[in-house]
Structure 1
Amino acid sequence: MMTTTRGDGGGGSSIVPADPASVATLKKKTAVSRSWILLDSTGEGTILDVDKYAIMHRVQIHARDLRILDPLLSYPSTILGREKAIVLNLEHIKAIITAEEVLLRDPLDDNVIPIVEELRRRLPPNNYIPQGQGDTKEQQNGQIDIEGGEEDESPFEFRALEVALEAICSFLDARTTDLETDSYPALDELTSKISSRNLDRVRKLKSAMTRLTARVQKVRDELEQLLDDDDDMADLYLSRKLSGASSPVSGSGAPIWCPASPTIGSKISKASRASAATIRGDENDVEELEMLLEAYFMQIDGTLNKLTTLREYIDDTEDYINIQLDNHRNQLIQLELFLSSGTVCLSIYSLVAGIFGMNIPYTWNDNHGYIFKWVVILTGITCASLFILIISYARYKGLVGS
C-alpha cells in the first residue's frame, strides 16, 4: 500500500494515507517538484514531499551530492559511490540508493513511472512472500531458501542499480532506433532530390543525433570510468560496508547470533556472508559488480556504435551531395567558358565589321568594294577557328568534359 509523507516546517514528516485526490494534486505541482518515492527492500512504495535537508539527513549525503539531482541544474550522467549511498543521475533517472531502500525523484513523471513499476517487481528477494500468504510454506521451506536460493541473490543496491541501468540503456537505445527510422529515409530522399525542405529536415535530424550521441557518450564514459577503477566499484558495495561495520563476528569469522525466523535468517545469512568476505580480505572483490556493469557497458556501446554508423551515413550523404554540387558547378563553368569564348569571337568579328562600316575615307578603299566582302568572310572563318581552338585547348587541359 502506498502512503504519502509531507514535511513540516521543522524538517519533520508525518505519514497520511495516499488517495487519488492527493496524487492528482501532487501531479499539478510546479516544475520544481520536491516529490520523491521511497521503495524499500520489499518493493513497498511511499511518496515523500520533503525538502532537501530531510533527504540529506535520511541518507546522510552532502548538499553537493544532492545538488547533482536538482532538475534545475544541468549535470551530466553520474554514478557516485558514497559511504552509505549511491547517488545516481542518469538522464531522467535521479535516485539515491542505500543498502535498504531507494529514493527516486519525480515519481509521477511519464518516463519515471515504468522504472517505479520495475523496481517494485524486482526489488523484493526471490524468496519474499507477502505477509499473510504462505506462512506455513515459508516455515517449512525457509531453511531451503536460505541455503539454496539465497546464494544467487544479488545485494539490494545492485538490484536497484541494475534496474536503473537497464532503464536508461533501453531508453537511449529506443531513442536511437527512432532516430534511425527517421534519418535513413530522409537521407535517401535528399540524395534523390536536393531541396530546401529536405536539407532543413536532415539538418534537424543531424542536430538531434549530435545531442543524443553526447548523452549516450556520457553514460558510456561513466560506466567505463567505473570499470577502470576497482576502488570506485568497491565503494558501491553498500551491503558489504554496512555488514562489515555493524555485524560482530567471532574469531573464526562466524556470526555470534542466530536467525530467529526464516525471513530474518535470510537477511542475516546474507549479511554474515558479506561480513565473512570482508574478514577474509575480499572487500576488493568487485567481480559481481564488474560483470553487471560490463553487460550494460556493452549495451550502451552498441547504441553508440549505431549512432556512429548513422553519423558515417550522414557524412557519406554529405560527400555525395557535395560531389553532385561540384558536378553542377563544373557544368556551369563549362557553360560560362562557351559563352565567354563565343563572346570574344563575336567581339573580334564586330570590331572588323565596325572598322569597315565607318564613314571614313581610305585611299586603299577607293574602287575596291569587293575587299570588304572578303575581309568579312575571312574574319568569320578566323573567329570560328579561334572558338574551336579555345574549346579544344580547354578539353585538353580538362577544364571541360569531352
Structure 2
Amino acid sequence: MARDGYVVPVDQQQGVVTAKKKARSSRSWMLLDATGQSTVLDVDKYAIMHRVQIHARDLRILDPLLSYPSTILGREKAIVLNLEHIKAIITSDEVLLRDPWDEHVIPVVKELQRRLPSENAVRLDHSEGRENPGGHNDEAGEEDESPFEFRALEVALEAICSFLAARTTELETAAYPALDELTSKISSRNLDKVRKLKSSMTRLTARVQKVRDELEQLLDDDDDMADLYLSRKLAGASPVSVSGAANWFAASPTLGSKISRASRASIITVRGDENDVEELEMLLEAYFMQIDSTLNKLTALREYIDDTEDYINIQLDNHRNQLIQLELFLSSGTVSLSIFSLVTAIFGMNIPYTWNEHHGYMFKWVVIVPGIFTSVLFILVMSYSRYKGLVGS
C-alpha cells in the first residue's frame, strides 16, 4: 500500500535549500546618503564587503548572532561601528545600518535623516546646475562644517549614550525604593527583588564600561582617531585612488562633487593637518564625559547596594546574637532543672537511708541547697557570656 504524501524531486529540494541559505545569508540594511535619503537593501555580506571595501572579519563584528563587544574601528574607506544595538558602517558619504526595523534602531534612523543633510550640501546641489559666482563662499562654509562621517558618528554616540543613560535612570528608579523597603523589612520577596535588580545593574555596568573603555582607547591613540578621518584620507588620495574610490562608491549621487572639492582642498588638508585630531577629540570627549557620568551613577548605585547589604548583615548579626542569648538562657534553665531532677531522683529512691527517718530535712536538701547551687551556676554562665561578648547588654 502506498503511503500518503508525495516525494519532492531532488532539484526542488536543492532549490528549497538554496533559497533558505540565501535568505539566511541575506540581511536587511538601510542605506542613508548625504542628503538624508534612505534606501532598504536586502543583500548578502559579499555585496556589502564589495561596496565599502572591508574584510569579512570586520563585517563579522556586526553579526547580531555573534556577541561581540562595543567596537569602533577605522578602516581605509569606512568606519565599522558596533555599539550595542547600533551596528553600522559609515563611509565618507553614506551610512549602512543593520536591522533598521529594530525598535531601538528606528529612532537612530530618524535622527540620521534629520541631521545628515547639511546646508552646504543643499547649496551645492543648487549650484551644480548653474554657474555659481559665489562658489568660494560655499567652499569656505564646507570647510567650517564637520565631515559627514563625524556627523553620523555623533548621532550614533548620542543615541547609545542616551539609551544607556535612560536604562540607568530606570534602574535607579526601581532600585532605590526596593533597597529602602528591604532595610525596613527583610523578607524573601524583597531579597529576591533586590537580587534581580543587582543582576541587572551588573550587566548594565559591563555594557556601559565597555563603551567607555572603547572611547577612552580612541582618545588615548591619535593614530586610531586619525583613521576615522575618511574625508581627509579621500582628499589626500592620488587621482588614481580617487577614480578607484568613485568606482567603489558609484551609487552615491554627490560623490563626484565631493571628490572634486576634496581635490581642490587637498593642498590645504594634506600639509601639516594629517595628525590634527582636535575636532574628533572634542567630539569623543563630550560623549566620554556623558558615558562616564552614567558609569558614576551605576557606581553610586552599587555602593548604595553594598551599604544596604552591610546594614542587613548587621541586623542579621544582631538577631543571631539574640538567638544565642535565648539559647544560653534555655541551656542554663535546662541545667538547673537537670540538677533539681537529679536531687529529686536521689531522694526519691526506695532505699533505706538514715536521713529518711526525719522528713523535715527533705525540704532543706531538695529545695534550698540545689536552688542556691543552680542559681549561682546560672549567674556565672551569663556573666562569662557577657564578658566574652556573646550576648548584648
Q: TM-score band, normalised by the shorter chain?
A: 0.7 to 0.9
C-alpha distance in 1 between matches for 2:130 and 2:53: 39
SS of alignment partner, residue 89 of structure 1: strand
What is the aligned partner in structure 1 of residue 357 from structure 2? 367
What is the aligned partner in structure 1 of residue 7 from structure 2? none
Greater Cα shift, 131-140 or 326-335: 131-140
What is the aligned partner in structure 2 of residue 311 from structure 1? 302
1:144 maps to 2:137: yes
Q: 2:377 aligns with which of 372, 377, 386?
A: 386
What is the aligned partner in structure 1 of residue 282 from structure 2? 291
Q: 1:73 aligns with which of 60, 66, 70?
A: 66
1:241 maps to 2:225: no
Q: 1:41 aligns with which of 34, 39, 46?
A: 34
Residue by residue, what CA displacement relative to the aligned partner does 1:160-194 show, whole Å, maximum 9, x if unpaired?
11110111001000000010000000110111111
Q: Which amino acid is 1:290 matched to?
A: E
**Superposed, which structure 2 residues align to 1:1-400 within 5 Å?**
34-129=27-122, 143-147=136-140, 149-246=141-238, 268-269=260-261, 272-278=264-270, 280-362=271-353, 364-376=354-366, 377-400=368-391
**Contact persistence 1:247–1:272 (CA under 8 A):** no
Q: Which amino acid is 1:308 matched to?
A: T
**Contact persistence 2:26–2:43 (CA under 8 A):** no
1:401 maps to 2:376: no
**Contact persistence 1:77–1:218 (CA under 8 A):** yes
TM-superposed deviation, 1:353: 1.2
C-alpha distance in 2 between matches for 1:277 and 1:50: 36
**Contact persistence 2:235–2:262 (CA under 8 A):** no
C-alpha distance in 2 between matches for 1:275 and 1:152: 17
SS of alignment partner, residue 122 of structure 2: coil
Change (3 A) 1:139 1:57: same
SS of alignment partner, residue 274 of structure 2: helix
TM-superposed deviation, 1:235: 0.8
Q: Which amino acid is 2:224 matched to?
A: D
C-alpha distance in 2 between matches for 1:300 and 1:200: 29
**Contact persistence 2:26–2:45 (CA under 8 A):** no
C-alpha distance in 2 between matches for 1:317 and 1:366: 67
Residue by residue, what CA displacement relative to the aligned partner does 1:311-362 show, whole Å, maximum 9, x if unpaired?
0001111111111111101100000001001111111111111101111112
Change (3 A) 1:96 1:146: same
SS of alignment partner, residue 48 of structure 2: helix
Q: Which amino acid is 1:86 matched to?
A: I
C-alpha distance in 2 between matches for 1:83 and 1:135: 29
SS of alignment partner, residue 298 of structure 2: helix
Change (3 A) 1:265 1:85: closer
C-alpha distance in 2 between matches for 1:243 and 1:289: 17
Q: Which amino acid is 1:355 matched to?
A: I
TM-superposed deviation, 1:228: 0.9
TM-superposed deviation, 1:393: 2.5
TM-superposed deviation, 1:151: 3.3
**Contact persistence 1:86–1:98 (CA under 8 A):** yes
C-alpha distance in 1 between matches for 2:56 and 2:128: 44
SS of alignment partner, residue 121 of structure 2: coil
SS of alignment partner, residue 284 of structure 1: coil
Residue by residue, what CA displacement relative to the aligned partner does 1:74-113 show, whole Å, maximum 9, x if unpaired?
1000001111110000001000011111101111111111
Change (3 A) 1:103 1:185: same
Q: Which amino acid is 2:164 matched to?
A: L
Structure with the bigger percentage of helix: 2
TM-superposed deviation, 1:269: 4.4
Q: Which amino acid is 1:300 matched to?
A: I
TM-superposed deviation, 1:145: 3.4
Listed as ranges, the gaps of 5+ residues in structure 2 are: 1-22, 241-254
Tell me the TM-score normalised to structure 1 length: 0.83
Change (3 A) 1:84 1:114: same
TM-superposed deviation, 1:384: 1.8
SS of alignment partner, residue 308 of structure 1: helix
RMSD, aligned α-carbons:
2.6
Q: Which amino acid is 1:373 matched to?
A: F
In the comparison of the two structures, how many residue pairs are matched? Answer: 357
Q: Which amino acid is 1:375 matched to?
A: W
Listed as ranges, the gaps of 5+ residues in structure 1 are: 1-29, 249-262
C-alpha distance in 2 between matches for 1:184 and 1:32: 45
Greater Cα shift, 300-309 or 127-136: 127-136
SS of alignment partner, residue 89 of structure 2: strand
SS of alignment partner, residue 237 of structure 2: helix
C-alpha distance in 1 between matches for 2:53 and 2:152: 19
Change (3 A) 1:122 1:274: farther
C-alpha distance in 2 between matches for 1:83 and 1:221: 23
C-alpha distance in 2 between matches for 1:81 and 1:226: 10
